[in-house]
Amino acid sequence: MSSTPPPSPPGYLDAASGEPPHPLVRATWERTLAQGWADPARRYGAGRQARLLLDSAREAVAAALAVRPDEVVFTGSGTQAVHLGVSGLGLGRARVGRHTVTSAVEHSSVLHAVEHLGGERSLVAVDLVGRVDPEAFAAALRPDTALACLQSANHEVGTRQPVEPVAERCAALGVPLLVDAAQSVGRGPLPLGWSVLTASAHKWGGPPGVGVLAVRTGARWRSPSPVDEREAGRVPGPVNLPAVLAAATALQAVAADAARDDARLRVLTERIRSTVAATVPDVEVVGDPHDRLPHIVTFSCLYADGESLMDELDRAGFAVSSGSSCTSSTLEPSHVLVAMGVLSQGNVRVSLPRSVDEADVDRFLAELPAAVARVRARLGAEGL
């Protein structure tokens, strides 16, 4: 299944926070509302119809993840999938111990879930491009390690992680590995060897409010929720079937076009990387320049503030993100950039939607130097 997404909203360059809905989402949602409104657990005709639709969605997502359908369940969000994945592994391995191992650059949802488990935590350091060393990760594993977590690729700088070598080392010691694949699903083959994988539909152009939790057969996972017969007893309550089927349909479509989109977006992100470095003084482009996701570019500007830069670019018509937006409530830079040891001041993350208009990229690159200069001038840093 393949279709060309419509153009993204003008100036929208924050796909890592959420891809614009794929054009198949609305039609699938409306069709499912008409045909799949009944409880899939019921045996009468309308219930059986709903069950067929739910099964087809599960099979489509399982195929994209290269797993069995009975290993896939749907959650209310990617965050809920992470929380259930971490908590379930922690409960399933409680007799082993309470020690956990994660990279220092995991998404906050993973770090918060691990913290909530309690017990001792080990954070594995990363290099200057944000990647862990498999041997260092393995050295952090212990006999009482309940679980380990390693993202497929970093959500702020795009660097891919060595999941398969880490998974091999975890498997040798019997430690289950949870992989947060929110930014990678739908963008080509996924790494192998994990025990639990989580994802979020709105990252690939599905509707918000749909997460995916995949638990491999044999993983010692125990539900942290009260018993519920739905979703293999892993997620309480009924699924949002129209949203789930729309998410599965969108995933099929983007997966079919992944190679084409990868090639196109890499050309554009390489243009951004080189142009920003050449046109903005005192800037550091961060993340691996080669082994990275195709759609994410991150750079930091000295003598500037990330939140001010986002606001300045918003006034110019661009939606971007910042990993170091020091807000009045936190006053803390990005934990990812700090762990990498790179400049965290004045950080901007540009993440391109699959249907990005190349003219928007050109317009962004033309506007950026002046936007940075205006922010620096307001901060009294012009000419430093």
Section 251-257 average pLDDT: 97
In tens, the pLDDT along 270-303 reads 999 999 999 999 999 999 999 999 999 999 999 9
Task: Encode burial over 183-205: b for 16+ CB neighbours within 10 A, e otherwise.
Answer: bbbbbeebbebbbbbbbbbbbbb
Residues 376 and 336: their CA atoms lie apart, in Å, by 24
Q: Choosing from 149, 170, 301, 326, which is the catalytic residue?
A: 326
In tens, the pLDDT along 54-68 reads 999 999 999 999 999
- Domain co-membership, 207 together with 267: no
- Domain co-membership, 247 together with 262: no
CATH number for 280? 3.90.1150.10
Residue 158 identity: G
Indicate whether 330 pLDDT > 70.
no
- Domain co-membership, 234 together with 264: no
**299 assigned to some structural domain:** yes
Residues above pLDDT 90, as percent of the chain: 88
- Domain co-membership, 353 together with 332: yes
- Domain co-membership, 27 together with 163: yes
In tens, the pLDDT along 109-165 reads 999 999 999 999 999 999 999 999 999 999 999 999 999 999 999 999 999 999 999
- Domain co-membership, 242 together with 270: no
Sign of the Cα pseudo-torsion (105, 109, 112, 117, in order): negative
**336 assigned to some structural domain:** yes
Domain stop point among 210, 227, 256: 256
**197 assigned to some structural domain:** yes
Structural domain count of the chain: 2
In tens, the pLDDT along 205-232 reads 999 999 999 999 999 999 999 988 888 8
Cα(first)–Cα(last) distance of the chain, in Å? 53
**145 assigned to some structural domain:** yes
Indicate whether 191 pLDDT > 70.
yes
The answer to whether the CB of 235 falls within 8 A of the CB of 75 is yes
Closest CA to 229 of 35, 38, 40, 36: 40
Q: What's the mean per-residue pLDDT of the chain?
A: 94
**10 assigned to some structural domain:** no
- Domain co-membership, 44 together with 80: yes
Domain stop point among 239, 256, 273: 256
Give the pLDDT score at 328: 37
CATH number for 35? 3.40.640.10
The two three-digit tokens of residue 42, written as one number = 């019921």
- Domain co-membership, 245 together with 284: no
Residues above pLDDT 70, as percent of the chain: 95
Give pTM, 2 decimals: 0.94
- Domain co-membership, 219 together with 329: no
- Domain co-membership, 262 together with 286: yes
Residues 268 and 47: their CA atoms lie apart, in Å, by 47
CB atoms within 10 A of CB 7: 14
Indicate whether 329 pLDDT > 50.
no
In tens, the pLDDT along 340-381 reads 999 998 999 999 999 999 999 999 999 999 999 999 999 887
Give the pLDDT score at 230: 86
- Domain co-membership, 183 together with 278: no
Give the pLDDT score at 112: 97
**51 assigned to some structural domain:** yes
Give the pLDDT score at 327: 41
Domain stop point among 256, 273, 298: 256
**318 assigned to some structural domain:** yes
Give the pLDDT score at 6: 57
- Could you write out the three-class secondary structure of the chain? CCCCCCCCCCCECECCCCCCCCHHHHHHHHHHHHHCCCCCCCCCHHHHHHHHHHHHHHHHHHHHHCCCHHHEEEECCHHHHHHHHHHHHHHHCCCCCCEEEEECCCCHHHHHHHHHHCCCEEEECECCCCCECHHHHHHHCCCCEEEEECCCECCCCCEECCHHHHHHHHHHCCCCEEEECCCCCCCCCCCCCCCEEEEEHHHCCCCCCCEEEEECCCCCCCCCCCCCCHHHHCCCCCCCHHHHHHHHHHHHHHHHCHHHHHHHHHHHHHHHHHHHHHHCCCEEEECCCCCECCCEEEEEECCCCHHHHHHHHHHCCCECECCCCCCCCCCCCCHHHHHHCCCCCCEEEEECCCCCCHHHHHHHHHHHHHHHHHHHHHCCCCCC
Section 13-39 average pLDDT: 94
Indicate whether 10 pLDDT > 70.
yes
The answer to whether the CB of 307 falls within 8 A of the CB of 330 is no
Give the pLDDT score at 341: 96
Question: What domain range includes position 356?
Answer: 258-378
326 carries an active-site annotation: yes
- Domain co-membership, 251 together with 126: yes
The two three-digit tokens of residue 318, written as one number = 């661009």
